[in-house]
Homo-oligomer: A and B are copies of this chain.
Amino acid sequence: MTLTELRYIVALAQEKNFSRAAERCSVSQPTLSVAIARLEDELGVQLFERGKGFVSPSLVGARVVEQAQLALNEAEKVRQIAQRGRDQLDGTLRLGVIHTIGPYLLPQLIHSLKNVAPNMPLVIEENMTANLADMLRDNDLDVAILALPFDQPGVLTRPLYDEDFKVVVPCGHPWENKTAIAPEEVAGDEVLLLKAGNCFRDQVLGACPQVSSPETDIRLGHSIGTIRCMVASGLGISVLPEGALQHPYSNDMIRVIPFLPPQPSRRVALAWRNCFVRPKAIDALLAAVRGLDSPAYRLLV
């Protein structure tokens, strides 16, 4: 039983004439005649009564034809669904992003993405790099935004932008009026850090070797927002990425001071499985990044 055969019997039931039914199906009359005879043989039932002046579905034939029409309708829906799905920029994209980027980049990025791919809503997973890597591997995510280095077999990356690190001190701090700070000056346990697992914490420790990693978690924040508040309240100082210090996240209770050149920074990249089937969605994200307009991000795309 094939879809073609089903189309044939539906056409014959409607036309009640082999030649016209064949024409409607764009085949010759013998083709349709033989195909229907074959289907009748396969099903073991005579579907049509060939009379002198008429062709008419038998009792069974009428029911079979009716059901055949339903089957054809469902098959046609398959084609329609595929047709609608041909646009790679149509349909949800599952995007992972690390905690230290998501809240600061995504509002702008989504706004920019709307221009490039208006019909591609994002499902956003905010997590740490290691978890995003797993989800990417397990096909729980389509794409992720995270900080380099990131090397994962079967996953491609593409740098998006560089983002400088800044020193953040509370209002009234001795460094309040410094214009630049050397990485080595940032030292001791006065420095507030993110909890372990966040890649940004390790990047700060790498950039400022004098910072001690305290055993207690008193000076460890769950998020950049927490740390910013702790700094503002006078608990200590910190090092944060510039993106997290843009309006409206900066305020007059803290002072943001640049490092001395070469300023420490991180490289933020897009990552996706090399076999991901919607490359145009990647392109759209790159274009959206290209459309960003923020001095905090030194674009690489």
Contacts and interface: CB of A to CB of B under 8 A. Distances in A.
Given A52-B153, A82-B45, A67 B58 contact: no
A278 B6 CA distance: 22
A81 B56 contact: no
A43 interface: yes
Interface stretch (A71-79, A110-118, A169-177, A214-222): A71-79
B82 A77 contact: no
A154 interface: yes
Interface string A45-60: 1111111101010111
Interface of A: 1-3, 6, 43-52, 54, 56, 58-60, 63-64, 67-68, 70-71, 73-75, 77-79, 81-83, 85-86, 91-92, 138-139, 153-154, 273, 275-278
Contacts of A273: 49, 51
Contact of A75 (B71, B79, B276): B71
**Number of this chain's copies in the complex:** 2
Contact of A3 (B1, B64, B278): B1
A278 B78 CA distance: 37
A1 to B, nearest CB: 6
A85 B60 CA distance: 5
A63 B77 CA distance: 10
A247 B79 CA distance: 67
A63 B85 contact: yes
A50 B78 CA distance: 21
Question: Nearest 3 CB-CB pairs, A to B?
Answer: A60-B85, A71-B74, A43-B82
